[in-house]
Every structure is written in C-alpha cells, then in structure tokens.
Amino acid sequence: MKYIVTLSFSLLIVTIISAQNVGIGVPVPLQKLDVNGAIKIGSTATGNDGTIRYQSGMFEGYNSGTWKAFIQLPAGTLVASATNPNTALSNSGFTFFTSLYIDKDSAISSTPNSWLGVKTLNAPDTRINHASIWTGTKMIIWGGRLYGDNTSVKTGSINDPVTDTWNTMSPSSLSARSGSTAVWSGTQMLIWGGADLVGDPLNDGAAYNPSTNTWTLINAVNAPTARTSHTAIWTGTEMVIWGGNTISGSTNTGSKYNIATNTWTAIPTASAPAERFGHTAIWTGTKMIVWGGLPSSLVNDGAIYNNTTNTWDGPTSLINAPALRLSNTGIWTGTEMLIYGGLGFNPGVSIGSTGGKYNPSTDSWTSTDEFGAPPPIQNHTAIWTGTEMIIFGGRFESGGSSNTGAKYNPSTNTWTSNLPLLNTPSARERHTAVWTGNQMIIYGGDDINNGPLNNGRYIVNSEANINIQTKTVIHLFSKN
C-alpha cells in the first residue's frame, strides 16, 4: 500500500510517496529526489562514495576516500578517443576535431613469404638513384635525389633490420649527388662517382666506416674520369670502376682502387668491350663480367675482366644471349650470371619477359623460362637468396610502376610468380634492395604516378621477434 503525504508551508510543497520517490515542488516525483527549482549544497568534511559538496568555490564529489573537484573544461580543450564517432563525447558537448596516426613498435614472430613494413622514425628522406649496401648486419642508405623535388642530397642512415631502427650517418665532405656506386669492403662502404645537382658527372669518392661513424676521402690521384651510370664491384681487396657516362659521352675506361694503399690502377682498354653505360657488372670470385648497356647502339655483348692480370680475357658468347637491352639487372649465383628485364631499343620490338643464364666456365647462355615471369620491366631490383633470384618493382614496358615481383629458381629454370600482395610496398622504380640472409629490404624509389611511397621487407625465411612498426589512430574531440 502506498501512502501519499502532502505538506504545505506557504509556497513550499513537499510530496512524499512512501518508500519510493521524493518531490519538492513536484506533485508526482519521477526520481528518488525530484526538485522543481534550485538546490543549494553546502560544505562537509565527511562523506561516503557518491556524496557531493561545495567547497572553496568548487563542487566536489567523494569517491574512494577522497574528495575530487568537478572542473568545467574550457572551450577548445582536446580529448582523445579510440573511436569516431563517440556518442558519449558528442552528448557531453564535444565536436570531432581531427585524427592522428602514431607509429607504434611491436615485436612479432615473422611468417615466411610475407611482407612487413619498415619504420619511418629517423629514416632517411625517401629518395631515388641513391646508394645502398648490406654490411652483413645492417643496411646503409646514402645520397640520391629526394622523391618529389629532385634535390640531390649527401645524407644517409643505417638500418638494423633486427630492431628495425635507424641511425643517422655523420655528414660527408662529398658533394650532394645521385647515381653514385657503393661497395662494401668488409669494414667500410666505398662511395664513388655519380652526378651533381645539375647532372654533371663526378670523379671523387669517400669511404664510410659505420663502426666509428666517420668518412675518409678516397685518393683522387689517377682516379677514373668523372662519370655516372657506371658500375662498381668489390674483389675482396679492390673496388673496380668501369664504363659509364662522362661529360663527353659513354666510355670503356676504368680503374681499380686498392683500399689498403689508397691508390688507383688504370684498367687497359685493349680487348675491352665497347664504351657503354646502363650495363651490369658482377664479380664471380675471380673475374668481373660486364654485359649489356647503351653505347652508340645497343649491344647484347659482354666481356670478362681478369683482375689478377689486369687484362680482358675476351668477349662473352653471343649465341643464345638475351636480346639487346639496358637498365636490366644482373646477379651472380655462384656459378652463373643471371640477366633479367631491362629496356629494349630495337624499334617496335619488345624484349618481353626474357632473360638469360651465362656460365663463364663454358662461355654459354641458356634462356630463362618466360612462363610465370614478371611482365616486361626495367629499373627494377634483383637479389640472390642463395637458391633463388627475387625480382621486385620497376617500370612496366606498357607504362606505370610496379609493386609486384617473382622468384626465379635457376636450377629448375622456373618462376614462382606474384609475391604476396598483403602489406606489399607501394609501386616504384629506381629503388634499392638488399638481402639480409632471410629478408629482402626495399627502400626508396620513384612512382611514375607520383603516389606516396611506403617501404617494406619481404620475409623469405622465418625469424623470431622481428620488430615492426604499425600505425595507431587517435581521434581528437574539441570542447564546444
């Protein structure tokens, strides 16, 4: 049974519904306390959870043994939310302001045949035609032209793929440049040549020691003439520079640099291949093989250089050699040189998805199978894993940049087409790639469509606790 008692004191009406709601100035209260008018709250020293008081000019609430002030946020105050929209904030007088994307580090166990990102914190600016080498434990990026504004730079950074962290290199006394070559001596990175800010070739270089983060200029006495689009290989004791574009055109000259004595020795032109640039050069362990490139007319020939005797052994066979091209890739498997892709210059004739395997011990070529091979591309990268060649990126012969790749097994002469697309780096050409022993790291490059570039690393073999960087989104709301 309900008992309703109404007390009238002048203008005050209090309505009580027994054991239910209390109303002040309200005939039928809808809450435990329903007041039609203002309430004055005073101060108290004691309280229990849920008690409200007015103390020192502020309303306070009692919770877990302490009084906490109710503070009115001023207009423009930003608060963070993991979700957008956020109904609770909107109902509390907040309006969505913007979203922030924050890099977050985490360690994961990598999965074979998968892509991971490369951290951007302290990473070098995205660039093209830069130098890149693998030291055995780290990747070094240096020089090149900045992506988007074509400004040449002389800066660089070192990436540790285990922790995926970047460290900035000390400044070099070399001038800013793109198209320089780089080799790893075992303790130092040797940079040489390239083109300056206006495209003129250069004939200087320097050695960078990552252990001490210091640079040492390479002796310029008897150095090769200034050039770009040349090649450089490391023999184990010397850096060999050959070919390229000079101020007066392509050349078939070169020199070898002895890091121990800091001296240059000229390479003879007798029996050397014709002048060229955009060619490839590989080191077999005893000899350098030069192939392809662009002289006065495109060639599909090559030659073998004997570093021990400082002589040219003769040309490579033309029988079954790949078609004329430049801007192709060339790598050494331990027994064969693999040529793939590139730009053909025979009018109206596509080189297609062709390549070749050259065996110097028999001076013979074998065509690579085209089934499953990437589409016709140039300015791509190729690395050797120990059992397979991995191709990535480049410019399609039909136009546009590529973010696809494939693996080629020379033992079976077969392609495994299409690397996984999940988390693949964006489309690009003129980038660099290094092989760490279990992953291929892609960095920099140029997208013909001027799209944003994100770098990546392709995991071939599993490795526990690889650090990756993901992006966490935070939504900001502003107080009205």
Q: What is the average per-residue pLDDT within 452-460?
A: 78
User: Residue 391: is its pLDDT beyond 80?
Assistant: yes
Write out 266-303 in H/E/C secondary structure. Answer: EECCCCCCCCEECCEEEECCCEEEEECCECCCCCCCEE
pLDDT value at residue 8: 42
Provide mean pLDDT across the span 448-470.
Answer: 65
DSSP string, 51-83: -EEEETTEEEEEETTEEEE--PPPTT-EEEESS
Task: Indicate if the pLDDT at residue 322 is higher than 50.
Answer: yes
Distance (Å, whole) CA 311 – CA 303: 11
Q: Give the C-alpha separation, 467 to 442, whole Å.
A: 16
Q: What average pLDDT does the chain have? A: 87
**Residue in the block written with tokens 């001076």:** 363
Report pLDDT for 4: 43
The pLDDT, as a whole number, for residue 462 is: 53
pLDDT of amino acid 109: 52
* Residues in the chain, total: 480
What local confidence, expressed as pLDDT, does residue 324 receive? 87
Phi, psi (degrees; rounded to nearest 5) at 381: -120, 155
Over residues 25-50, mean pLDDT = 81
pTM of the model: 0.75
Whether the per-residue pLDDT at 245 is higher than 90: the answer is yes
How far is C-alpha 65 from the chain's CA centre? 53
Query: What is the tens place of the pLDDT at every residue in 170-215?
Result: 999 999 999 999 999 999 999 999 999 999 999 999 999 999 999 9
Of 66-75, 321-330, 365-374, the one with minimum mean pLDDT is 66-75
Read off the pLDDT of residues 353-371 as tens digits, 9 standing for 90 and up: 999 999 999 999 999 999 9
User: 431 and 443 in contact (C-beta within 8 Å)?
Assistant: yes
Give 24's pLDDT tier (boundaries 50, 70, 90).
confident
Q: What does the pLDDT read at residue 474?
A: 81
pLDDT value for 10: 40
Contact residues for 54 (Cβ-Cβ < 8 A; gap 6+): 41, 42, 43, 60
pLDDT interval class at 463 (50, 70, 90): low
Question: Does the pLDDT of residue 275 top 60, yes or no?
Answer: yes
Name the percent of the chain lying above pLDDT 70.
Answer: 89
Residue 265: pLDDT over 60: yes
Residue 360: predicted pLDDT: 97
**Which of 480, 425, 446, 408 is closest to 118 using CA atoms?**
425
pLDDT greater than 50 at residue 3: no
pLDDT on residue 319: 96
Per mean pLDDT, which range of 96-100, 121-125, 366-370 is the poorest?
96-100
Other Cβ atoms closer than 10 A to 439:
22
